[in-house]
Amino acid sequence: MKNIKDTLMDPSGFVVLGEYIPGIVQEIRYYCTYNFIGERIDGYEEPCALLTIEAARALKAVSSELFVRGYRLKVFDAYRPACAVKQFVLWGLEDQDIRMKPYFYPELEKQELFIKGYIAGKSSHSRGSAVDVTLFDMKTGKEVDMGSPFDLFSPVSHPDCKEVTQEQYENRMVLRSAMVRGGFEPINCEWWHFMLKDEPYPDTYYEFPVSASYLKK
C-alpha cells in the first residue's frame, strides 16, 4: 500500500500533453525566465505540459473542435508541482524582488496578487487537471489577440472586462465557450485558466516534477 509521499510522487494517472494531442502548441513559461518571478520555477525540469488522463482527454476534444474552426490550442501551463506553488508564496513574502513588476503586475503590489486571487497558496494546477491556454490562429501563425497577455495580473485580464475591444472579447468567448463545452470551468480573474469540472484528484496536490522523462520511468 502506498503512503502519502509515494502517492504525491506518482505520475501514473498523467500523460504528456504534446504526445496525447498532436499539433498542440506549447510555451511553458515557468520553465523559462520570462514569467512574473523572472527565473525558472522549481519543479519544471523539462519544457512540457502534463495533465491527468481525464483532463487531457477532455482537452483533446476541445482541440479537435477548434481545429475545424482554424485554431490550435496553445498551452502556457498545465500540471504544476506543489514545490512551484511554494516558491510563488515565498516570493510573495519577499518585498525587494519586483524585477518583473512592469511586465506582469504593473498596477498591483505583490501581496495583492494573492488577495485578489491571481496566485493561490494551494493551486488547482497541482491537482493535475487545470490548464492555462489560448488560441493559436493557423492562418496567421500567431496567437489570437485576447486583449492582454498570459499572466498579466490586472482587471483587463478578467474574462468579462469591458476595456478590451469587441473583437478581443469575442476571441475570449470563442476559447471560453469551447472549453466549457468540453467540461472545463473558467475563473473570473484570468481568461486563460480552466479547470476540469469532474477532476479525478480533487484533494491531492502532487509534487513530482514537470518532466516527460519522469512519467516514463
More confident residue, 4 or 1: 4
- Please name which of 20, 103, 88, 83 lies closest in space to residue 56, comparing C-alpha atoms: 20
Sorted by where each begins, the domain ranges of the chain are 4-215
Predicted confidence band of residue 3 (pLDDT cuts 50, 70, 90): confident
pTM, whole model, 2 decimals? 0.96
Q: Give yes or no for a contact between 48 and 171, defined as CB atoms under 8 angstroms apart.
A: no
CA–CA gap between residue 192 and residue 189 (Å, rounded): 9
For residue 115, count CB atoms less than 10 angstroms from its CB and return exposed for 0-12, middle for 13-18, buried for 19 or more: exposed
pLDDT for 41 equals 98
- pLDDT score recorded for residue 5: 77
For 4-215, the fitting CATH number among 3.30.1380.10, 3.40.640.10, 3.40.50.720, 3.40.50.300 is: 3.30.1380.10
- Between residues 34 and 117, the one the model is more confident about: 34
How far apart are the C-alpha atoms of 170 and 160, rounded to whole Å?
10
Question: In Å, how far are 64, 117, 120, 142, 153 from 158, measured between CA atoms?
Answer: 26, 11, 16, 22, 9
pLDDT at 197 > cutoff 60: yes
Residue 47's pLDDT is 97
Residue 33 has pLDDT above 90, yes or no: yes
Per-residue confidence at 2, pLDDT binned at 50, 70, 90? low
6-45 in b/e form (b: 16+ CB < 10 A) is eebeebebbbbbbebbeebbbbbbbbeeebbbeebbbbbb
Structure confidence at residue 216 (pLDDT)? 84
Q: How far apart are CA 138 and CA 29, in angstroms?
A: 21
Mean pLDDT of all residues belonging to the chain: 95
Distances (CA, A) of 3 to 51, 95, 209: 22, 37, 18
| DSSP state for residue 95 in the 8-state scheme | S
Cell of 91: 516570493
Query: What per-residue confidence (pLDDT) applies to 120?
Result: 87
pLDDT in tens, 147-190: 999 999 999 999 999 999 999 999 999 999 999 999 999 999 99
- Annotated catalytic residues are 190
pLDDT for 89 = 94
33 contact partners, CB below 8 Å, separation of at least 6? 39, 40
The pLDDT of residue 1 is 52
The pLDDT of residue 210 is above 60: yes
Q: What percent of the chain has pLDDT over 70?
A: 99
User: Residue 38: which region, alpha, beta or left (left: phi > 0; alpha: psi -120 to 50)?
Assistant: left
pLDDT of residue 95 exceeding 90, the answer is: no
